[in-house]
Amino acid sequence: MTVQAQPPVERDPLIVALARYVEALHRRYPDGPDELRRERLDGSAKVSGMIRLRKDPAA
């Protein structure tokens, strides 16, 4: 049985950057989302409610 060499895989730079980001987050916050919530870093407390804008029916 002959083993064929596979061509090098081109990696999407965005995917590589996201993977590095996730790995860094995991190193910094090993307990995951629970730790982020405890430290109030998850951002959910900063999100304000949606404001409904009424459109003028004459417009």
Would you state the structure tokens that stand for residue 39, as one six-digit string?
């430290």
- End-to-end CA separation in angstroms for the chain: 74
Residue 19 pLDDT > 90: yes
- For residue 31, the model assigns a pLDDT of 84
Looking at residues 28-44, what average pLDDT do you find? 74
* pTM reported for the whole predicted model: 0.47
Burial letters 13-39, b for 16+ CB under 10 A, else e: eeeeeeeeeeeeeeeeeeeeeeebeee
